[in-house]
Amino acid sequence: MTDTREDRQAEENRDFSAEEVARARADTPGCAKVAHFNNAGASLMPRQVVDASVHHLHLEADMGGYEAAAHATERIEAVYDSAARLLGCDRDEIALVDNATRAWDMAFYGIPFRPGDRVLTSMAEYGSNFIAYLQVAERYGVQVDVVPNDEHGQISVDALSAAVDERVRVISLTHVPTNGGLVNPAAEVGKIAREAGALFLLDACQSVGQLAVDVGEIGCDMLSTTGRKYLRGPRGTGLLYVRKDVLDRLVPPVLDLHAATWTARDRYEMRPDARRFETWEANYAAQLGLGAAIDHALGWGLPRIQARVTRLAGTLRERLAEIPGVHVRDLGVRRCGITTFTVDGVAADRVRAALAAQGINVSVSRTASTRLDMDDRGLGEVVRASVHYYNTEEEVAALTRAVRSCT
């Protein structure tokens, strides 16, 4: 008997069983030590990730770095296949880089801007990205325009459509902002970008690993993400997707003997794939850990991870909203695994410290990370609690009790 679409949908939405949650936690030694709600900062790595990285470090120590890389060639190449499965693209559209910032920078600074070009972005744009916009504005005479939010606090698709003209070189959007749980309507933005003939750069640093992200469905030309957050990989790892049809519209800001070939005394040829955005030196131990993290996520299934993370975060928001003096600050029609809140009369750092004393990890997001959005809402800081599929309902309850004790 063949599976129907309804059967597949039901499987994708099926919550983790108690046995599966227990297995996920058993694979994550850190779960025995902390209640970790800082997954939007850096998730707890599963043992499979640690083992993959440590194994390669031992190879480097035993046989030498070059020799270890040659020995692991097939496993390193397999990371590109896993990343392509994760994002729904071809392996030659993937570059492995040091981090999400480097991935985003290689894409953005690879756009050949001209005076008068326009960059369209959103109110909740990440601070590092906005600094880059300001820099190219100074350097090339580019105009940076911020598209207002709609009534739900996400980028207004109608306002974006009205703002587009022939001068728009790129629409650059943060999929999930660092200071809240909203998910921007990326697919709708992608449709507008395609119709306008503008490049679409998506910062998916906070979404890949907790949401099912398909670059074909979204319609982005470039996507950057990290390994350390919801993918549960090592720090110092990142991915860049570049759609093959736009490769020749970009000029990598850095080239070396990996990204290009020196063909004559006065000539070079760039690689024909996205690896032109890489450099020769690489942390292969970390890359293999990233590959293990991606495979681990694919094994659970991103739709199932998304369903569980979204549900747990919804429960957390509901419980926090019941506490007098606590204000949940998340916006958007669609929300994800990040929950942000403030406590009347209590500084965010004090809340974080009080929770840490009880073995509960959260983080604090401040104005500088998302200045436009925070200023617009009159917020200077928020406490950020970000769940993952290995968190439990009991941990959510413990977090809620700990926050209540701060009021």
| SS3 assignment for 116-164 | CCEEEEECCCCHHHHHHHHHHHHHHCCEEEEECECCCCCECHHHHHHHC
pLDDT, mean of residues 65-76: 98
User: How far apart (Å, rounded) are the C-alpha atoms in residues 200 and 285?
Assistant: 32
Is residue 174 pLDDT above 70, yes or no?
Answer: yes
Is residue 365 pLDDT above 60, yes or no?
Answer: yes
Is residue 136 pLDDT above 60, yes or no?
Answer: yes
pLDDT of residue 15: 84
Alpha helix positions (H), 235-301: 284-300
Is residue 393 pLDDT above 80, yes or no?
Answer: yes
pLDDT, mean of residues 355-364: 98
Q: How deeply is 272 buried, as exposed, middle or buried, from its count of CB atoms within 10 A (0-12, 13-18, 19+)?
A: exposed
pTM, rounded to two decimals: 0.96
Residue 313's H or E segment, with its range, is helix 302-321
Structure-token pair, residue 169: 């070189």
Structure-token pair, residue 329: 């600050």
Q: Percent of the chain, pLDDT > 70? A: 97
pLDDT digits (tens, 9 = 90+) for 14-70: 789 999 999 999 999 999 999 999 999 999 999 999 999 999 999 999 999 999 999
- Structural contact between residues 270 and 250, judged by C-beta atoms closer than 8 angstroms: no
Average pLDDT of the chain to the nearest whole number: 96
Higher pLDDT, 407 or 256: 256
pLDDT digits (tens, 9 = 90+) for 78-101: 999 999 999 999 999 999 999 999
pLDDT digits (tens, 9 = 90+) for 315-354: 999 999 999 999 999 999 999 999 999 999 999 999 999 9
